[in-house]
Amino acid sequence: MMKVVIIGGTGHVGTYLVPRLVEAGHEVICLSRGQSEPYLPHKAWDHVQRVTIDRTAEEKDGTFGERIRAFEADVVTDMICFTLPSCMQLVDALRGHVQHFLHCGTIWIHGHSSIVPATEDLPRAPFGDYGTQKSQIETYLMQQARQYGFPATALHPGHIVGPGHKPINPAGNQSLAVFEKLAHGEEVTLPNFGMETLHHVHADDVAQAFQLAMTHWSTSVGESFHTVSAGALTLRGYAEAMARWFGQEPHLTCLPWDQWCETVSEKEAAATWEHISRSPNASIEKARRLLGYEPRYTSLQAIQESVQWLIEDGQIQID
């Protein structure tokens, strides 16, 4: 049994990771900003120590790393680190005091992929603050692991989905109206040729990868892994599959980017650009080989479970 601290443990991945670890016999301490509840109830949470912590304030006064070290955990899993200084403060405090440190990154570290599916060792071209910061964090952690023996592992999810979470839709944004149009057999307009890609993953499969990284310590330390489904989806293929899942034949139209932007709000266009400009398509062969990672859900299965939950919750109207 190990003592495991999870920073940001009530989020979507933590909803599944915490019960996995409790059921495996580990002592779990869950840190969160407030009294937020996990997305799904589970009896395992009765055995979890819940701690409220203001990371931003404690990082500002330089006490956050010391606070985490005081738990004397064997494993620290950081689900909510977004800047290099934030990561460095924590690593400095935990150096020599932790057996394993796991960081949640993102496949946006790749930016534009030159070869798909992208492998972890390809040259990076990240852009935008989020992907660039996450790439810097991974580079730093791998250096600390390989040169100085800090036991770090980085795991990079794609578009996380599951009950309680809105999936990125076939138009590349989070408008639920796209699913409603597909459910009603209405025409859906996609940008360009609809051949850009999205790479979803179920939150429980991400949790599986984190648990496997802990289990396979010797092959995960000093390494980074993609944690996505086995295959990305094109926008067109995604839209066609969802229309048929609703019992409809797809009616799709494609427009050049500038024209397509005129059909949606500025916010939706910006979100779509963020996704399709990267068109993530990541390989999981390394995680399969070194961790035994095998996602239970395809991208479509994960999305459909999310959409079904949204229908039952009344957020998507299909009648």
Distances (CA, A) of 303 to 91, 134, 244: 35, 25, 14
For 143, other C-beta atoms within 10 Å of its C-beta total 13
**Which token pair is 314?**
């009344």
pLDDT band at 76 (very low <50, low <70, confident <90, very high): very high
Which residue matches tokens 């395809």?
Answer: 298
Q: For the residues 281-306, what does the mean pLDDT come to?
A: 98
Number of residues that make up the chain: 319
Tell me: cis bond preceding 250? Omega within 30 of 0 counts: no
Q: For the residues 282-292, what does the mean pLDDT come to?
A: 98
pLDDT at 2: 97
pLDDT at 174: 97
pLDDT tens digits, one per residue of 202-225: 999 999 999 999 999 999 999 999
pLDDT band at 103 (very low <50, low <70, confident <90, very high): very high
Q: Candidates 3.10.20, 3.40.50, 3.90.550, 3.90.25; correct CATH number of 161-199+231-280+297-312?
A: 3.90.25
What CATH superfamily classification does 3-158+201-227 receive?
Answer: NAD(P)-binding Rossmann-like Domain (3.40.50.720)
Side by side, the strands of the sheet bearing 152-157 are: 49-52, 27-32, 3-7, 75-78, 100-104, 152-157, 224-227
40 contacts 164 by C-beta, under 8 angstroms? yes
The mean pLDDT value of the chain amounts to 96
Q: For the residues 234-245, what does the mean pLDDT come to?
A: 98
pLDDT tens digits, one per residue of 111-140: 998 899 999 999 999 999 999 999 999 999
Least confident of 32-46, 76-90, 289-303: 32-46
pLDDT band at 35 (very low <50, low <70, confident <90, very high): low
Q: Report percent pLDDT > 70 for the chain.
A: 100
pLDDT at 237: 98
**Which token pair is 66?**
């010391």
Where do the structural domains in the chain lie, given as residue ranges?
3-158+201-227, 161-199+231-280+297-312
pLDDT at 115: 95
The three-state DSSP-derived secondary structure of 143-175 is HHHHHHCCCEEEEEECEEECCCCCCCCCCCCCC
292 sits in the region (left: phi over 0; alpha: psi -120 to 50; else beta) called left
pLDDT tens digits, one per residue of 146-202: 999 999 999 999 999 999 999 999 999 999 999 999 999 999 999 999 999 999 999
pTM attached to this predicted model: 0.96
